[in-house]
Amino acid sequence: MAIFSKTCEYAIRAVFYISHKSASGDRAGLKDIAAGIDSPELYLAKILQDLSRKGLMRSVKGPHGGFYVDADLLARPLSDIVEAVDGFGLFHGCALGLKQCSEINPCPLHEQFKSIRDQISDLLHRTTIGGFNEELLGGLLSLKK
Amino acid sequence: MAIFSKTCEYAIRAVFYISHKSASGDRAGLKDIAAGIDSPELYLAKILQDLSRKGLMRSVKGPHGGFYVDADLLARPLSDIVEAVDGFGLFHGCALGLKQCSEINPCPLHEQFKSIRDQISDLLHRTTIGGFNEELLGGLLSLKK
DNA sequence: TGAATAAAGGACAAGAATATCCTTAATTAT
DNA sequence: ATAATTAAGGATATTCTTGTCCTTTATTCA
């Protein structure tokens, strides 16, 4: 198992890609993004449409159109993307899948995973969509391969 | 997304259930286990067969048969179960799904998730299959609901 | 030995996630 | 206005996970 769904992996990589293009004032077209993050183009289209509808992405149709994020979105936490795509399970669900697992009715792993989940949550709330733009522009970080 | 696959959730809960029965010298039948952890009986059968084949579980056919774990298995780490069912992805995979993500070719989340993955790995290696038997016998921990 | 019980194993079914296809709508440039 | 471009949207296809069914094999007990 991975931490995120494949859909969410594509979403995060695409958002980072679009973000660093936006930082240079460019919009990114679907083909460009799909090539830039090595994802299936038409599947990615669906993901970006979904993020667009949810207000986590902006787009313009027609020649020289494409996807971009504005300053407001650059500052949003990555957790917004993860929640929109994978929901709250990663932050709040029981590791063993129990619906009523809680402090007063804990599963065996409840205590230990509480800390893990909190750290993942903190990490994704602290990290912003635009937070890696310099490193991405400098080629220090990878979004494909 | 959850941390573990549904299959792995059932596997872990079943192993804990069987373990605490084994601690009392009992074997646990399929119906008993499925009821005890609230899982689909026939699907659970497949999971336990698989663990049996892999030597992570013992079973006896016929009347008064069932599943059990011996002292050797009681002491094995929970990571053995997770690896057998979900593979190594949770411990070693890239959060963004990149095949070649590494220290020298990192994805944007590489550094931060390294720590998270290490903690999950430590936790599952430190926790033994039989480690919650007293609490389970005392009804302090839940494997269903 | 024969009947009953319980896991093993193979095949199939349902559902969800992932991926593709094709048409429509919006925007730009000529 | 028209043609070209690009995202939006609906429908369908594929693959993987989850779940069920049915027959076979091993074991126990009478």
What contacts A7, CB < 8 A, 6 or more positions away?
A47, A85, A86
Read off φ and ψ for residue B139, nearest 5 degrees: 75, 20
Residue B144 near chain A (CB below 8 Å): yes
- B55-97: pLDDT as tens digits: 999 999 999 999 999 999 999 999 999 999 999 999 999 999 9
Distance CA A29, CA A32 (A): 5
Q: Of chain A residues 69-98, which have a CB less than 8 A from chain B?
A: 86-87, 89-90, 93, 95-98
Does the nearest atom of strand C lie within 7 Å of B59's Cβ? Answer: yes
Q: What angle do CA B18, B24, B30 make, to 5 degrees?
A: 30
- What pLDDT is stored for residue B54 in this prediction? 98
Look up residue A124 and give its two tokens.
């994704």
- What pLDDT is stored for residue A1 in this prediction? 87
* Contact call for residues B14 and B33 (beta carbons, < 8 A): yes
Does the nearest atom of strand C lie within 7 Å of A89's Cβ? Answer: no
User: What does the pLDDT average to over A68-89?
Assistant: 97
In CATH, what number is assigned to the domain containing residue A103? Answer: 1.10.10.10
Interface touch B95/A2, C-beta < 8 Å? yes
Strand nucleotide closest to residue B50 (CA to C1'): C8
Please count the structural domains in chain B: 1
Residue B28, in any domain of the structure: yes
Please report which confidence band the pLDDT of residue B1 belongs to, taking 50, 70 and 90 as the band edges: confident
- A109-127: pLDDT as tens digits: 999 999 999 999 999 999 9
Does the nearest atom of strand D lie within 7 Å of B43's Cβ? Answer: yes
Read off φ and ψ for residue A81, nearest 5 degrees: -65, -50
Structural domain including B131 reads: 6-137
Residue A144, in any domain of the structure: no
- In the numeric block, the tokens 């599943």 are attached to B67
Residue A99, in any domain of the structure: yes
Q: A-chain residues within 8 Å CB-CB of B135?
A: 108
Distance CA A90, CA A5 (A): 11
Q: Please tell me the distance in Å from A79's CA to the nearest CA on chain B.
A: 13
Q: Of chain B residues 112-131, which have a CB less than 8 A from chain A?
A: 112-113, 115-116, 119-120, 123, 127, 131
Is the ipTM above a cut-off of 0.85? yes
Residue B1, in any domain of the structure: no
Look up residue B28 and give its two tokens.
């646990």
Does the nearest atom of strand D lie within 7 Å of B65's Cβ? Answer: yes
Residue A19, in any domain of the structure: yes
Residue A143, in any domain of the structure: no
- B23-42: pLDDT as tens digits: 999 999 999 999 999 999 99
What contacts B126, CB < 8 A, 6 or more positions away?
B77
Q: Of chain A residues 9-38, which have a CB less than 8 A from chain B?
A: 9-10, 12-13, 16
Distance CA A115, CA B125 (A): 16
